[in-house]
A and B are shown apart, each in its own frame.
Chain A
Amino acid sequence: MKEITAIIRRDKLPETKNMLDELGYPSMTIQSVDGRGKQKGAMCAEMDSEMPDSYCAAVKLTPTPSAYALEHTLPKVALYVPKRMLTIVVPDDVVTKIVKSIIKVNQTGKHGDGKIFVSPIEGAVRVRTGEHDGEAIA
């Protein structure tokens, strides 16, 4: 069993759900999360250039665009972007298929499309019946 954690755009959730329904894996957990990637939020990529060199010496700490943005209360800076996090537990053999489908549905080619993580799951139990592992997620 593997756990697929996909952090995706909010407006792509309905499409992703329909796609998973069609593939036959409709069970999932959805969470509303805030996140950021390499670009440090929505506006911080542009902040790197705005940050004056003297700032680094002045603070005597590792300077970060986020810290600078907070100190100077710059407008239009979003340190976090609201996202939806999907968690699906599936059998080993369909992981690649599902990952590829999620990528296909969610790809816009712009920054902020999200990440997908695949991690091992050691056990599963269906609470209602007490079934274990493979049967529990079937």
Chain B
Amino acid sequence: MKMIRAFIRPEKEQEVVLALEGAGFPSLTKMPVFGRGKQKGLQVGPVHYDELPKALIMTVVDNEDVDRVVKIIQDKARTGFIGDGKIFVSPVESAYTVRTGEAVL
């Protein structure tokens, strides 16, 4: 299993979530976060924005689905401009469903 954490534009969040649901990955956790990237924030005229609002979407999927999920997020969250975000994939050793107590996703 892998945990996929995608930092995306907040306005793209709904589109990504609906696309994931359509592909059969309805489960996710989301939270609002603030961050910056290589460009050290955003400069608009004299104003410098150091921390930009992003949406963090976190989901855990089986190994064979990772590429598909990453592709869906990439397709839907992409605008081609800086600030589209990042996707991180990290290992998860086990997942438990609290309701049943079973070690299944």
Chain A residues within 8 Å of B, Cβ to Cβ: 2, 6-8, 31-40, 61-67, 70, 79-80, 83, 85, 99, 102-103, 106-120
Contact = CB atoms under 8 A, between A and B. Distances in A.
Given A34-B31, A64-B22, A85-B29, A117 B98 contact: no
A136 B47 CA distance: 40
A66 B3 contact: no
Contacts, number: 95
B31 A103 contact: no
Interface residues of B, number: 27
Interface stretch (B38-46, B63-71, B86-94): B86-94
A35 B99 contact: no
B30 A62 contact: no
B30 A37 contact: no
A102 B98 contact: yes
A117 B26 contact: no
B23 interface: yes
Given A33-B30, A85-B29, A102-B98, A117 B22 contact: no
Of all A-B residue pairs in the complex, the 3 with the closest CB atoms, nearest first, are A62-B22, A113-B98, A35-B29
